[in-house]
Amino acid sequence: MALLNLSLLFFFFFYFIGADGAVFTLQNRCNSTIWLGIQAGAGTPQLMNGGLELNPGQPINVNAPTGWSGRFWGRTGCFFDQSGKGYCATGNCGGGVAECAGAGGEPPATLAEFTLNSPLDFYDISLVDGFNIPVSIVPTGGSGDCKSAQCLSDLNQNCPHGLQVRRNGRVVACKSACLAFNQPEYCCTGAYNNPNTCKPSNYSRVFKDSCPAAYSYAYDDSSSIFTCKGANYLITFC
Ligand SMILES: *[C@@H]1O[C@H](CO)[C@@H](O)[C@H](O)[C@H]1NC(C)=O
Ligand SMILES: *[C@@H]1O[C@H](CO)[C@@H](O)[C@H](O)[C@H]1NC(C)=O
């Protein structure tokens, strides 16, 4: 009886207060297997030890606890040996390991970023460090604004010269201007470290034209950050 009451209490707490975390459903619509990288924000737990293999058409659910923050990205062109050591052509982490275990991905890579229960969930697609594959975030079952965040165009197809990352003659990723040229006006650093001085550049506009709902440079907040409450999230790659 006491046990039942306790579980009911928890049920009501999580159901009505909405203080639960989220279920991320990860889906690969690319033509080949990708490896996901997941990097948790400071003070929140790593999910799946930071990496997992994702085959086309086999969604995987990952549970995140209340207050989790972090980022997901796709790694392409990966080869790992039995011990989980190897290399990815894009998004490689930790010097070439299957499970990133807290390490970030080498840019350029498209990022899906989250901060849960703060007190709303905040989420976005970021091209601030560049692009490798299309990514979308679709919230399900939440309340509030809850729009999709997405970069569905293949920016590798119209990546400006000077930003292209090629493997075997093919463009596999597109650097941001900050990553390619490391200039304060592109990186929003130094005298450009605030939204009044750091403006879109001719390079970031190429990103924004293709993907209007994604961050194209550091201060692109107004059209790029989304909120929802109590949702689960479908994250689709390609
Ligand atoms: C997947 O393959 C099809 C057919 O070969 C091709 O048209 C499409 O562009 C490919 N998609 C991706 C994301 O590479
Ligand atoms: C952006 O402007 C710079 C400086 O004017 C120029 O060198 C570069 O080619 C331009 N890039 C694009 C993609 O328009």
Query: pLDDT band at 10, cuts 50/70/90?
Result: very low
Tokens standing for residue 105 = 């991905």
Q: Give the closest ligand to the alpha carbon of residue 153.
A: 1
Q: Give the closest ligand to the alpha carbon of residue 152.
A: 1
Quote the pLDDT of residue 110.
98
Q: For ligand 1, atom 6, which residue shows the shortest CA distance?
A: 31
Question: Could you tell me the pTM of the whole model?
Answer: 0.90
DSSP class of residue 74? E
Distance 190 CA to ligand 1 centre (A): 42
Distance 31 CA to ligand 1 centre (A): 6
Closest CA to 226 of 132, 110, 144, 141: 144
Q: Is residue 200 part of a domain?
A: no
Q: For ligand 2, atom 4, which residue shows the shortest CA distance?
A: 202
Structural domain containing residue 135: 23-152+212-221
pLDDT at 171 over 80: yes
Strands (E), 81-204: 86-90, 111-115, 121-126, 135-140, 149-151, 164-167, 170-174
- Are 34 and 54 in contact, with CB atoms under 8 Å apart? yes
Q: Is residue 63 part of a domain?
A: yes
Domains: count for the chain: 1
Q: Is residue 132 part of a domain?
A: yes
Closest CA to 162 of 203, 205, 110: 203
Quote the pLDDT of residue 19.
52
Q: For ligand 2, atom 14, which residue shows the shortest CA distance?
A: 202
Q: Is residue 159 part of a domain?
A: no
CATH value at residue 131: 2.60.110.10
The percentage of residues in the chain with a pLDDT greater than 70, rounded to a whole number, is 92
Q: Is residue 202 part of a domain?
A: no
Distance 224 CA to ligand 1 centre (A): 27
Quote the pLDDT of residue 73.
98
pLDDT at 109 over 60: yes
Distance 109 CA to ligand 1 centre (A): 19
Q: Is residue 110 part of a domain?
A: yes
Distance 202 CA to ligand 2 centre (A): 6
Q: Is residue 10 part of a domain?
A: no
Comparison of pLDDT for 1 and 185, the residue scoring more = 185
Cα distances (Å, whole numbers) of residue 138 to 17, 114, 187, 189: 22, 12, 28, 32
Nearest atom in ligand 1 to the alpha carbon of residue 134 is 13
Measured from the Cβ of residue 123, the count of other Cβ atoms closer than 10 Å reads 24
Q: Rounded to an integer, what distance in angstroms lies between the CA atom of residue 211 and that of residue 136? A: 11
Q: Rounded to an integer, what distance in angstroms lies between the CA atom of residue 75 and that of residue 116? A: 24
Q: Is residue 80 part of a domain?
A: yes
Query: pLDDT band at 20, cuts 50/70/90?
Result: confident
pLDDT for 37-86, tens place per residue?
999 999 999 999 999 999 998 999 999 999 999 999 999 999 999 999 99
Nearest atom in ligand 1 to the alpha carbon of residue 29 is 13
